[in-house]
Structure 1
Amino acid sequence: MNSLKVIMFVFSLFLVGSAFGEGKKFKIGGEAFELTEGKMLVIVNRVDRVDTLASGPITGGKFVLEGEIEEPCVALLKVAEYDGGFVFLLESDVPYEMRLWKNKREEIKGGKLQGELNTYMAIVDKTNKEMEKMKAEIKKASAEKHFRTASELQGKLEKARDKAQKELDALVEKNKDNIFAAYIQTLGMGRMDLPALKNCYQRLSEKARQLEPGKQVAARIAALEQVGVDAVAPNFTLSTPEGQEMALYDVKGKIKVIDFWASWCGPCRMENPNMVKLYQDFKDKGLAVISVSLDEKKDKWLEAIKKDGLTWLHLSDLKGWTGDVVRLYNIDAVPTIFVLDENNRIIAKNLRGEKLRALVSEKLK
């Protein structure tokens, strides 16, 4: 919706209790102001796919969507071909009323779980505003050398934060076995490292672990463990620029560095001179470098290899972020670097510059 100046949806969502198939029927009717045509979608993320629960045309700013759910879920209402959307907790047998504005806080009424989410977000918003005000007062008092006042305000700020956290924790505890708690506790999991993910998962109740957010955390933990330090790196086969297929396990070296990069990645290109020097200094001592590109255009890939003077093995399927090896290694950013020993065991991840040189030097001395 980022190309629309102001968007407001006003609609009611009625979820019907009678079942068909194995789920419960729901119907969404609404109006999209300043958007006269397009397609409206209700989608949900699964462990291995994205399901569309309902879709329908927007005609004259109005739309009707029908579908079914088997259990309460985290859903996204969005306009097809626009980024973003509105995340909400979808239940059966309750009416929803929603008003959404672009760049403004939405108003959502309907459903016990959505009500709990509204309460949670209201506490967060209220506390953030209070804390921002107190931080400004602390800054002012400090600048005026009223240090006692600043200290008192700092104490109030910490108390407000602690009070809010207790209220939020109580909400989560009260809902520990439902989708609300699972959703709140797994927010931002895509940016977590493996230890943080495991800690997140441990906080979930056994029932919450069986819900979709819990399943997604478990799946991501398993995927990260597969390419974690001390794991044996999964084998893969990709093509060289000349079209020859090459498998990771066929590359020999006492130390192997897998560098996931792309020609369009500025930080990757900035790191390349360090990798060139590293390779020159240690290639005769047992270092092998395998650069795996996330490029989609072969000419750009080859141009970058030549321009940066990268004389080691290069592989790619030219599928960008959709390639199998990207999913296999859980690559969500470039550059991403894996360091392997001669048995393809991962001994380090994401070392660059002097830290990478220090490890290679130690292993190949």
Structure 2
Amino acid sequence: MRKILFTLLTSLMVLNISAQVKYDISGTVPTVFNGKEMYLLFAASQQISDYESTPITNGMFHFEGTNNSEDIACVTATIDGKDISCYFVLENAPVTIDFTGDTPIIKGGELNNKYNAYRVEQIALSREHNVEKFPDYQKEMQNNATTETRRNEIKAKLAKYKEDMLELSKKHVTLNEDNIVGAFLFLNIYNNLSIAEKDAILAKAGRKFKTYSPVESILQQMTAAKAKAIGTDYTDFKMADKDGVKHNLSEYVKNNKVTMVDFWASWCGPCRREMPYVKAAYEKYHNKGFEIVGISLDKDKASWLKAVEDLDLNWIQLSDLKYWQCAAARLYGINSIPASILIDQNGKIIAADLRGDNLSTKLEELFK
């Protein structure tokens, strides 16, 4: 048994060490940047404050260190309002970046070679579309003398460039569906993809793609968004009331024609302003089969219960007192409040985030 445990621990240590990246980044810049700082930022941290810096001396800079995993990184420097910057892959191979030409030249290992393949096509496409003229197009669009015909022509040019860039990124996401180059490009075009396209990409993506932390966050958001999508089955959860007694949401769904899960908190001003509308709806439709399950994102029990009393909220109130880490809120992807979900007796989500008189209007339709 001891031998097995030792072997397992050794394997885990090897996996942990192999996941780390020892990076060595050097580069050259125009000598006008001498004496300035070159900054190294890590994309996965998603924190502007998480960076390293090194002085630029004799037109050169150098970074050396260890990161927990492969990442997309950026080096950037600024002088007199002019800046230079470049994205690249932080990998277990020396990386050099030359800023002295028209565009940065990156040399590195296998992952940077894959990223460079994308950059070469990106630069060529930008030249094909005369991207350097885009600022002039913007000025034309702002000029009242510009004809409608010309405006439409400019819009078509910009739309075509955006379309071509999107297709280029999709192509290289497919070519890199097993590494973080693909993950990075996927994140860049995420908002321009349909749900079907996102699902298709992620279905084929490899482990390194899907475990890149910004992509993991996206996956969590997508899962949560689907959990509250109209027409889908609701997801049950269990949470305690003020006396510590735990209740399943299903208790209320199965016994009422319509159940509203209402996410709120005592400290939330918009939530408190919304309560008169919620109370009016409850008073009008409760006897007809309308129930409310309040889920508080409070972290202080006394504040929660005082708000319930002050606002005279006489429907079911539950909370795990975990603030934004509230289990039910995370389950349904709630990142702002007030928020709500309407569920019918069959367990289908029929509406979400109805505010003001819109709630009563929907209930009037449901209780005809």
Structure-1-length-normalised TM-score:
0.65
Q: For each residue in 1:237-292, what CA deviation from the matched residue of structure 2 results, as whole angstroms up to 9, or x when unmatched?
A: 22223433332122342211001122333432332221111011111111111111
Name the structure 2 match of 1:246. Answer: 247
Q: Which amino acid aligns with 1:163?
A: Y
C-alpha distance in structure 1 between counterparts of 2:265 and 2:276, whole Å:
15
1:229-244 mapped onto 2 (5 Å cutoff)? 229-244=230-245
Indicate which of 198, 201, 212 corresponds to 2:199.
201
Q: Is the 8 A contact 1:177 1:207 kept in 2?
A: no
Is the contact between residue 23 and residue 93 of structure 2 (CA under 8 Å) also seen in structure 1?
A: no
Equivalent in the alignment of 2:149: 151
What's the secondary structure of 2:22's corresponding residue? strand
In structure 2, relative to structure 1, the CA distance for the partners of 1:348 and 1:131 (3 Å cut) is same
Whether the 8 Å contact between 2:257 and 2:345 is mirrored in structure 1 is yes
Amino acid at match of 2:23: I
- List gaps (5 residues or longer) in structure 2: 1-13, 27-35, 56-61, 76-85
Q: Comparing both structures, which one devotes a greater share of its residues to helix?
A: 2
Equivalent position of 1:27 in the other structure: 22
Instruction: Output the amino acid matched with 1:238.
Output: M
Cα distance change of structure 1 residues 28 and 94 upon mapping to structure 2, 3 Å threshold: closer
Q: Aligned residue for 2:66? A: 66
Which of 174, 177, 187 pairs up with 1:176? Answer: 174
Q: Which residue of 2 aligns with 1:300?
A: 303
What does 1:89-128 align with in structure 2 at a 5 Å threshold?
89-97=89-97, 109-110=106-107, 111-115=112-116
Alpha carbons of 1:238 and 1:115: their partners in 2 closer, same or farther (altered >3 Å)? same
State the alpha-carbon separation in 2 of the partners of residues 88 and 306 from structure 1: 56
* Equivalent residue, structure 1, for 2:360: 357
Measured in 2, the distance between the counterparts of 1:295 and 1:87 equals 41
1:325 equivalent to 2:367? Answer no
Quote the residue 2:209 is aligned against. 212
2:25–2:94 Cα contact (<8 Å) kept: no
Contact 1:259 1:289 in 2 (8 A): yes
- Structure showing greater radius of gyration is 2
Q: Deviations over 1:169-208 (max 9, x none)?
A: 235424522043443234475x79xx94333233x38654
Change (3 A) 1:96 1:339: farther
Q: Provide closer, same or farther for how the CA distance between residues 173 and 281 of structure 1 changes in structure 2, counting only shifts above 3 A.
A: same
Q: How many residues align?
A: 309
Task: Please list, as runs of the form range in 1=range in 2, the aligned pairs for 1:268-307 lying within 5 A after superposition.
Answer: 268-307=271-310
Post-superposition Cα deviations, 1:201-230, rounded to whole Å, max 9, x if no partner, equal: 33x386546552497466655554444334
User: Is residue 256–residue 339 contact of structure 1 (8 Å, CA) maintained in 2?
Assistant: yes
Q: Read off the aligned partner of 2:235 and give its amino acid letter.
A: P
Alpha carbons 2:21, 2:90 under 8 Å: kept: no
Tell me the equivalent position of 2:138: 135
Conserved 8 A contact 1:117-1:180: no
8 Å Cα contact 1:226/1:234 also seen in 2: yes
Structure that is richer in strand per residue: 1
Identity %: 23
CA distance in 2, matches of 1:129, 1:354: 50
Q: Is the 8 A contact 1:176 1:205 kept in 2?
A: no
Offset of 1:160 from its aligned partner?
Answer: 4.0
SS at match of 2:293: strand
In the aligned structure 1, how far is the partner of 2:339 from the partner of 2:74?
33
CA displacement 1:42-71 (0-9 Å, x = unmatched): 6858xxxx9xxxx999999x98533575xx
What is the root-mean-square deviation of aligned Cα atoms in Å? 4.6
Q: In 2, are the aligned partners of 1:260 and 1:335 still within 8 Å (CA)?
A: yes
TM-score scaled to structure 2, two decimals? 0.64
C-alpha displacement of 1:114: 4.2
**Gapped regions of structure 1 (runs ≥ 5):** 1-19, 79-85, 100-106
Contact residue 22 and residue 91 of structure 2 kept, 8 A: no
Give, in whole Å, the separation in 2 of the partners of 1:313 and 1:98. Answer: 63
CA offsets per residue over residues 102-148 of structure 1, 9 Å max, x none?
xxxxx7944234445666887789988754542332332xx34x53x
Deviation at 1:351, TM superposition (A): 2.6
Q: 1:29 to 1:166 in 2, by over 3 A?
A: closer
Other-structure match for 1:162: 160
For residues 328 and 290 of structure 1, the distance between their equivalents in structure 2, rounded to whole angstroms, comes to: 15
1:313 aligned onto 2:316: yes
